[in-house]
């Protein structure tokens, strides 16, 4: 797969559109949130205060949340799904679990991300971009006299046996993004040969994509694979981590927001989508929510802890192919049978 910079996505900054609602909303809003707990809490609380809405959230990984929304489709228990990788949001749209909505805030969003899901018609919108890579605990590597890996292929070297963690793609959108990235980098056959070799060095497949970052920060593992903004936060908090964007190139997540079909509080769900796409909310995400992804709103100021697109070597992530329900099921099923069952 050809590796190209993502900087072409930000060729122009659009004219800032005015954001606001003259009438305050009333009632309730239930959010399924697949971002960090701190970001979920920050956005839910700020939205509730700003629009006088009684707001609550339930935090879970994006893969688990997709399964929950599907199980509840005859009687939805939430109104909107915020955060987590776009692939499961895209699959939810294909499964007819979402309601389309064209937010006025899309005028400020990077053009590529205004209608990013495989099923077109604004079933999901994009709120951030997260870069896949790995974080390395430098103190643990020093104790074990190991070099700092710089490439994906370094991670399958025998000296890193038992020193790597990644999430399980059955429950984690982060891990599915990694799986899809390896297939796009090398082709399916070579990607699965790599994953089988990597499996020999994995100490734990965690349920959540954030867990390897926290475990690496605590020195429980030397290397955690995941989205680099999670490692930026741990590093800011004092963890001895080095962040690595792998030499071969890497994939990325697009954080989604989607309105659940049959939502009981549909108007407030639309208002919440407007909110999280706005300049105010996206800046709040890192100022108070400690979330250091690259922002999609062109008017929003990025965190100094965020990565810069022009410094990264990224694949041209094929959302139409790898955001498809059947592709996700096929790749995860193959991973379970050929890789995980070998543990």
Structure tokens belonging to residue 44: 């839910």
Q: Which residue, among 93, 48, 53, 85, has the nearest Cα to 69 in the 3D structure? A: 93
DSSP 3: B
Q: Write out the two tokens for 262.
A: 């049959």
Helix (H) or strand (E) holding 82: strand 80-85
Structure tokens at 127: 């709120």
Residue 152 burial (CB count, 10 A): 24
DSSP characters over 187-251: -HHHHHHHHHHHHTTEEEEESSSSHHHHHHHTTSSSEEEEEHHHHHHHHHTT--EEEE--TT-B-
CB contact at 8 A, 322 and 185? no
DSSP state of 35: S
Beta bridge partners of 224: 135, 165
> What number of other Cβ atoms are within 10 A of residue 200's Cβ?
14
- The predicted pLDDT at position 343 comes to 54
For tokens 């990025």, the residue is 302
Residues near 160 by beta carbon (within 8 Å), at least 6 away in sequence: 146, 149, 154, 201, 222, 223
Euclidean distance between CA atoms 335 and 343, whole angstroms: 12
pLDDT tens, the chain, 343 aa long? 444 444 343 333 322 233 333 345 679 999 999 998 999 999 999 999 999 999 999 999 888 999 999 999 999 999 999 999 898 999 999 999 999 999 999 999 989 889 999 899 999 999 999 999 999 999 999 999 999 999 999 999 999 999 999 999 998 989 999 999 999 999 999 999 999 999 999 999 999 999 999 999 999 999 999 999 999 999 999 999 999 999 999 999 899 999 999 999 999 999 999 999 999 999 999 899 888 888 999 999 988 888 776 678 999 999 889 988 899 999 999 999 999 886 5
| Nearest residue to 35 via CA among 201, 158, 164, 209 | 209
Measured CA to CA, the distance from residue 243 to residue 241 in angstroms comes to 6
Give the span between the Cα atoms of 234 and 7, in whole angstroms. 26
Which pLDDT value is given to residue 25? Answer: 62
As given in the structure block, the two tokens for residue 243 are 């962040």
Question: Tokens representing 196?
Answer: 């089988």
Q: Count other C-beta atoms under 10 Å from residue 278's C-beta.
A: 22
- Residue 182 near residue 223, CB atoms below 8 Å: no
Q: How far apart are CA 114 and CA 273, in angstroms?
A: 12
């Amino acid at each position: 797969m050809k590796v190209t910079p993502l900087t072409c996505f930000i060729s122009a900054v659009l004219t800032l559109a005015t954001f606001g609602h003259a009438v305050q909303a009333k009632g309730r809003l239930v959010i399924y949130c697949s971002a960090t707990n701190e970001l979920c809490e920050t956005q839910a609380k700020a939205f509730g205060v700003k629009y006088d809405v009684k707001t609550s959230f339930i935090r879970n990984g994006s893969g688990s949340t997709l399964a929950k929304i599907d199980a509840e489709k005859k009687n939805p228990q939430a109104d909107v799904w915020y955060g987590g990788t776009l692939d499961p949001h895209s699959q939810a749209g294909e499964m007819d679990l979402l309601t389309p909505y064209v937010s006025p805030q899309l005028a400020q969003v990077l053009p590529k991300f205004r209608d990013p899901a495989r099923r077109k018609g604004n079933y999901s919108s994009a709120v951030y971009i997260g870069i896949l890579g790995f974080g390395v605990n430098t103190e643990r590597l020093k104790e074990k006299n190991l070099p700092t890996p710089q490439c994906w292929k370094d991670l399958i070297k025998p000296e890193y046996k038992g020193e790597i963690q990644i999430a399980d793609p059955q429950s984690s959108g982060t891990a599915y993004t990694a799986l899809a990235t390896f297939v796009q980098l090398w082709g399916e056959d070579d990607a699965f040969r790599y994953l089988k070799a990597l499996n020999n060095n994995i100490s734990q497949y965690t349920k959540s994509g954030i867990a390897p970052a926290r475990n690496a920060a605590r020195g429980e593992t030397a290397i955690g694979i995941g989205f680099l903004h999670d490692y930026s936060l741990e590093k800011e908090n004092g963890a001895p981590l080095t962040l690595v964007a792998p030499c071969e190139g890497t994939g990325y997540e697009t954080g989604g927001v989607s309105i659940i079909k049959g939502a009981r509080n549909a108007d407030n769900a639309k208002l919440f989508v407007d909110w999280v796409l706005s300049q105010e909310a996206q800046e709040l995400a890192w100022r108070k929510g400690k979330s250091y992804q690259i922002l999609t709103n062109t008017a929003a100021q990025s965190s100094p802890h965020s990565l810069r697109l022009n410094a990264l070597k990224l694949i041209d992530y094929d959302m139409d192919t790898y955001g498809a329900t059947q592709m996700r099921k096929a790749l995860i099923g193959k991973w379970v049978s050929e890789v995980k069952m070998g543990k």
